[in-house]
Amino acid sequence: VEEIIAALSRVRGLFVIARNSSFAFRGRAADSKAIGEALGARYLLQGSARQDANRVRITATLVDSTAGTVIWSENFQGALASVFDLQDQIAARVVGALLPRVEAAEIARAFRKPTESLDAYDLYLRGLAAMHLWTEEGSAEAISLFRRASDLDPQFAAAYGMEVRCYSQRKACGWVRHRAAETAEVARLARLAADTGPDDALALATAGIGFGFVVGDPAKGARLVERALELNPNLALAWLFSGWLQVWLGRPDRAVAHIERAMSLSPQDPQYAMMQTATGCAHFFAGREREAVDWAERAVLMQPNYWIAWCVLAAGRAAVGDVAGAGRALDHVLRIDPGLRLSTLDAAFPIAGAAEIAKWHGAMRIAGLPE
């Protein structure tokens, strides 16, 4: 299913809801109209897969959610080893049903596979599941699984990229134990992701956030994410990463627009708290501190272990004169990352502009962050 979504999203004529949001409805009893309204999608691709020994049978149905009518339905079956070919067939049939005039080149570009190795792909999917737990143990397990996937297939660019993303997650959640070593490892992995996947939007986007957030080079990160969005304008993760990078580069209004795009592509995303935090941070630097507080408060309710959200809340409250509330938010920050200080804040959060750094430091100083 993951690859079918990815293939469809690379076709420029389609606006495709991200995997994380669409998977939120897996196994839930709801009619197609309700799901379509919740996701903001007119067409729904539904289906199931069954495995019998070394063969797999996939049933796929394309539904118009507004009318409740079936546009197309088909069964696909074949050897388990040819599952990627079955995925390609399904994606091609859906494109044919929705966009009969889509250029052949666009369709062909959409069907590039991330790896030919089923074993590597299985490790990759298990790594995604572990990463999405948002726990320190899950992140460590995901790093191990992604590394095993790239060991099996050294050209598996997305596996390198997702390992970068895990290290970014570790930094965002205050789990880093050896900052210099992890920063060097992220730089190495991000280069591998970009070099082995110059036409892989996911690999480029994750490499970009690694360079921007962990390595501290948001300009380089932004260039990689821009390339990712040229390749796949439906990749919600790339729009989110671009939003963060625009914040760090001092372009808050552009950041808000990019994050809004991410939210529209993935309205049920389990990482929605990261989107809310990025939006709040952008409003803070744009001088809309009360909006920053509103967004950060939503983010910490959804993901209370995300220290950056608490930082944005502390800074926003300090800027609007709620010093006591800022201090309470800072208490949460220091519980997650006890070693954070004003002197280490720039390494933790790579803001580029002098005016933005001064505003950020000033607000965090009012909140009570030690020097």
Q: What is the DSSP string of 239-289?
A: HHHHHHHHHHTT-HHHHHHHHHHHHHH-TT-TTHHHHHHHHHHHHHHTT-H
Question: Token digits for 50?
Answer: 């069954």
Q: What percent of the chain has pLDDT over 90?
A: 51
Alpha-carbon span 91 to 98, nearest angstrom: 11
Please give the average per-residue pLDDT across 280-290, as a whole number: 97
Q: Express each pLDDT in 142-155 by its tens digit.
A: 999 999 999 999 99
In Å, what is the CA distance from 352 to each residue of 203, 217, 246, 274, 316?
Answer: 24, 9, 10, 20, 19
**Which residue's entry shows tokens 């006890």?**
338
306, amino acid identity = Y
Q: Express each pLDDT in 244-258 by its tens digit.
A: 999 999 999 999 999
**Which residue's entry shows tokens 């992220």?**
186
- pLDDT for the residue numbered 141: 96
Q: Which residues pair with 44 in a beta bridge?
A: 63
In the predicted structure, residue 28 carries a pLDDT above the cut 90: no
CA dihedral 231, 236, 242, 247 (to 10 degrees): 170
Q: Which residue has the higher pLDDT, 292 or 173?
A: 292
Q: H or E stretch including 64?
A: strand 55-64
Alpha-carbon span 319 to 222, nearest angstrom: 28
- pLDDT for the residue numbered 17: 80
Domains of the chain by start residue, with CATH: 2-110 (3.40.50.10070), 115-233 (1.25.40.10), 245-371 (1.25.40.10)
- pLDDT for the residue numbered 102: 38
Q: Which residue has the higher pLDDT, 248 or 7?
A: 248
Of 98-112, 213-227, 260-274, 299-313, which gets the smallest average pLDDT? Answer: 98-112
Position 103 confidence tier, pLDDT thresholds 50, 70, 90: very low
Position 319 confidence tier, pLDDT thresholds 50, 70, 90: very high
- pLDDT for the residue numbered 281: 97
Q: Which residue has the higher pLDDT, 204 or 264?
A: 204
Please give the average per-residue pLDDT across 341-367, as a whole number: 91
Q: Express each pLDDT in 162-197 by its tens digit.
A: 999 999 999 988 888 898 999 999 999 999 999 999
Write down the mean pLDDT value for the chain.
86
- How deeply is 282 buried, as exposed, middle or buried, from its count of CB atoms within 10 A (0-12, 13-18, 19+)? buried
Query: CA triplet 135, 138, 143: central angle to 5 degrees?
Result: 125
Positive or negative, the CA dihedral 342, 343, 346, 347 is negative
